[in-house]
Amino acid sequence: MLFEVKDIDRDFYQRHLKDFLPEKMIDIHTHLWVNPRNADDESNRTVTWPSRVAAANSIEDLRETYRLMFPDKKCMPLVFGTLANPDLERKANEYVGDAALANRLPALLFSYPQWPGDYLRQRLQEKQFLGIKSYLSYAPSYLPAEEIRIFDFFPPHQLEVIHKLGYIVMLHIPRPGRLKDPVNLAQMIEIEEKYPNIKLIVAHVGRAYCREDVGDAFSVLAGTKKMYFDFSANTNRQVFEQLIQTFGPERILFGSDLPITRMRMRRIEKNGIYVNLVPKGLYGDVSKDKNMGELEGAEAKKLTFFMYEQINAFRRAAANTGLTAPDIEKIFYANALALCKTVAPDRTFSIEEH
């Protein structure tokens, strides 16, 4: 078995999630990789705790995860790669593309900002990718991590290609200020206005994992018309409520960030920083990681999956903001299917067969 499902997990699912979730789900934010990750070059630009959850995540592992966590649902992922040594980039992207084509899944190309526009277009077409995902780690190495901007890893010449194709950009925003950062907000709005055919998905609700990450972001973004937000790897009910109140159900997408949401944990806020509380020793020595904490004894035994905590937080936010069952079906399924079909109207995805 890929991981253990305990009685506490089954009980949590039955009590809180089973009836809330629609029969069909599309997970818009998942990572696939089969080669060992080498994050040495990115260690000063990204958190390291996710690498403790899974050494790899094959398409078989991903499907098994859905079977174990959602035994009575049909769940289809949109897949893309993860941080990789540049020498392994082509192999990593080809694995994702081949797995997606073989299983009739949507996929994104993990792109590098150094690529010329023509080369990006060629790589997208090779495996019928629906768009691109990148990461701040691939911005020029001379830039301090806190000064990296969106356009440093999604350069305008690449955005122009995606705009002309009408494809997806999965955006993990940079900068310590996260969603409230004024440079991030300005460039998000610039993408929508200058490249209107891009289907922009702002991942993790703009990394607003704590209330302090929001600032006036939702009021600044309230006038936008097209950008989507996924709530992957986020458990903040108050942030979700602001998201729903600002944009309604039509521009929100369920995403998980698998495999990291296989983690057994509960997230808290501490001095404006998120902390993942995990069973002591389960994920090695986390004592030097400011985003990790440990529980022992009875408290540790109460911990369920990150995935369940995330969806349950959204369930509570949905109840508090008056979302209906049809709204939930949009967020967990219909919005994502419509988005994929807009990009690739002639393709049939696996979930459409159920």
User: Tokens representing 275?
Assistant: 């902390």
**Model confidence pLDDT, tens digit, residues 266-299:** 999 999 999 999 999 999 999 999 999 999 999 9
Residue (of 76, 73, 82, 65) closest to 103 by Cα position: 76
Half-sphere exposure of 49 (CA within 13 A, CB side): 24
Residues 262 and 192: their CA atoms lie apart, in Å, by 33
Position 292: which residue type?
Answer: M
Our CA dihedral for 304, 305, 306, 307, rounded to 10 degrees, sits at -130
Q: Alpha carbon 84 to chain centroid distance?
A: 17
3-state secondary structure of 295: strand
**Domain-by-domain residue ranges, the chain?**
7-263+307-353
Position 278: which residue type?
Answer: V
3-state secondary structure of 266: strand
Residue (of 317, 348, 343) closest to 234 by Cα position: 317
pLDDT at res. 84: 77
Domain 7-263+307-353 has CATH 3.20.20.140: yes
Instruction: Please state, in angstroms and as integers, the Cα–Cα distance from residue 351 to each residue in 30, 75, 215, 229, 340, following that order.
Output: 16, 7, 38, 22, 12
Neighbours of 316 (CB within 10 A): 16
Kind of pairing between the strands at 199-202 and 168-171: parallel
Q: In the 8-state DSSP scheme, what is residue 35?
A: S
Cβ(266)–Cβ(249) below 8 Å: no
Q: What is the pTM for the complete model shown?
A: 0.96
Residues 301 and 305: their CA atoms lie apart, in Å, by 12
Cβ(231)–Cβ(205) below 8 Å: yes
Cβ(188)–Cβ(202) below 8 Å: yes
Kind of pairing between the strands at 264-270 and 74-80: unpaired
- Please list the ranges in the chain whose pLDDT falls under 50: 39-43
pLDDT at res. 41: 41
Q: Which helix (H) or strand (E) holds 276?
A: strand 273-279
Cβ(100)–Cβ(350) below 8 Å: no
Instruction: Please state, in angstroms and as integers, the Cα–Cα distance from residue 158 to each residue in 31, 119, 191, 297, following that order.
Output: 22, 10, 12, 51
Token look-up 């002309």 returns 164
pLDDT at res. 85: 78
Cβ(204)–Cβ(232) below 8 Å: yes
Residues 187 and 263: their CA atoms lie apart, in Å, by 32
